[in-house]
Amino acid sequence: MPLSEDQQSQTSATALLPNPHPDQIDGDLLQARALADKFPGSPTALARLAVSEVSFGNRVSARDAAKQVLENEPVDAPALIAASQVAAGLGEVALADQGLRRVLVASSAGSGAKSSAAVLAAGFAANQGHLERALELLEGYGSEAGAALKGAVLAQMGRCHDAIRELRSALRSVPDSPSTLCNLGYAYALAGSTRKAIRAASAAAALAPADRTAGLNLAAFLLSQGATSEAVSALDRLAAHHPGDIQMVLAAAAALHISGDVKGALKRLQRADTSRDVQEASPAQREELRICIDLLRAPAQPRKEVFGRALDALERCDYRSEVIARLLANTAQTTADLSALEAAYSALVERYGRPALLAVEQRVAFLRFEFDRSLKVAVDRVREEPFSADAHIAATYLLSMHEGDHQQAARIGMAGIRRGIGDEVLCNNVAFALAMDGNPDGAQRVLPDLSECDLALATAGLVKAVRGNLEEAIALYEEGERRLREEGDLDLADIVAAGKAFAMLAAGRKIPEDHLSRVDRRESTDPRFALVHTAIMREASAQ
């Protein structure tokens, strides 16, 4: 995400314009065609022709001219660079990259041409997710022109402090660059400096008020600090530049919902649903809007019902909603959901790349009991989505329960908390990891409010056990179990009951032989029970 729309347009060069009427052809295009006829095979003439043709929407002619430059000799660095920009704008990224590589290895190309080619090639690589390749190009042919892109790549790699240094350097050369400011805000947020992130994102949004990335980032940073009204105002300002865009309505409603204003969120969505805008929205946007309305109207719907609604909504929009796909993944919990989730994943893969579907991929692996793969995908997802609560929750849970790597679970979870992710389940997972690692004081500091989170009662019990107070610990576990049974979540209540074993082990006690009987009966059909059983046995064998 760090690459803003502004910056991506610089690296892919040529925007695709609507097809003009033939009488719009002016002297520039006629002159370019005349020069290409007069000097057949000339790279300079063909590159100019490609640029002129694409500027008038003549895609086939532009592609043909660009290909002649990129595939044939001789090497003419300026012509190759121009043709590569045209080819990339037409979707021929591999061909464009091939042309830029020719510039980089040509002995006749000067340092300036090689620097320009490296920055363009790095931009193509970054947009395709090849971050190491992008960084290699930028470091091998370093220039001030590539500092902003290098900073964006470093931020996307998670090297936030290096990214901040590069981006601040780029701003000294071009102080009013919205894309550089936007990426600087992202890097600051990644480092946990949210106030600095807000200042940078605010400056980016002021310079480019219609830029979606700048506006959405600003709203997210404000929301992480509890500034709901300011976040919604930022989204409203952005929405003014995108009238009729349902995504802006969904974003504002999400901000209100996260802050606890469910009525305000529902009101916004319902107003959009009765407007003319919804008729012009894509099928995916309409389905997202309506499923959000359903969930806000009845927030206590059974998980299976929400899972079924998400499946139906995905089918109606031809599997073109990443938002609904994530909802589907989050509500799939047992092997009974696996076949439907696998079928949906197969359909989704045809429309999205892997990074967009990591949440679904991770859940499929989890329900298949492929915990090694599920963990790997969960950690990949944290890297791809460093501000996602769901990503951090999955990674911390699997690191503790499957791997027993409590230090890594705490490290990843604390990094998320420092970035402003205040989700109570994440805080509970971090507290569990810290307690299991023998750090009850650290666990106590991050525990969520016990009155708001039933799971936190069990973790508070674990903290008591680590401190040597087993009787108080068991009482807290049993209170958490009681609450969950009263609320009807019998599966989670059984897991909490089994979890008392962690407290016993932490206090140096043996587990009663029949303690895991309920878990044993479920571990072959429910991966959550399998993980609890494995984790308890691992801790018991370590004593």
pLDDT tens digits, 500-539? 999 998 888 888 777 777 677 777 788 999 999 899 989 8
Compute the 3-state secondary structure of the chain and give helix, strand, coil in percent, each to the nearest 5.
75, 0, 25
Q: Residue 304 has what DSSP assignment?
A: H
Among candidates 313, 312, 315, which has minimal Cα distance to 347? 315
CATH number of 1-142: 1.25.40.10
Among candidates 356, 391, 387, which has minimal Cα distance to 374? 391
Q: In the predicted model, is pLDDT for residue 156 greater than 70? A: yes
Going from N- to C-terminal start, the domains of the chain cover 1-142, 365-542
Give the residue ranges of DSSP H helices in 317-446.
322-331, 338-349, 358-367, 371-384, 389-398, 406-418, 424-436, 440-446
pLDDT at residue 94, rounded to an integer: 85
pLDDT at residue 10, rounded to an integer: 33
pLDDT per residue as tens digits for the range 278-318: 778 889 999 999 999 999 888 778 888 999 999 999 999 99
Which class does domain 365-542 fall in? mainly alpha
Tokens of 298: 């009845």
More confident of the two residues 395 and 59 = 395
Match 């809007």 to its residue by tokens: 289
Q: Tell me if 1-142 shares its fold with 365-542.
A: yes
Element (H, E) at 470: helix 470-486
User: How many residues make up the chain in this entry?
Assistant: 543
pLDDT at residue 92, rounded to an integer: 84
pLDDT at residue 204, rounded to an integer: 96
Q: In the predicted model, is pLDDT for residue 276 greater than 90? A: no
Among candidates 366, 420, 370, which has minimal Cα distance to 189? 420
Tokens of 446: 């991050």
pLDDT per residue as tens digits for the range 218-237: 999 999 888 999 999 999 99
pTM for this one? Answer: 0.82
**Cα within 13 Å of Cα(516), Cβ side:** 19
Tokens of 222: 């404000």
* Cis ω for the linkage preceding 386 (within 30 of 0): no
Average pLDDT on 342-348 reads 95
Question: Directed axis angle between helix 111-127 and helix 93-105, to 10°?
Answer: 150
pLDDT at residue 16, rounded to an integer: 37
pLDDT at residue 19, rounded to an integer: 40
Average pLDDT on 364-379 reads 96
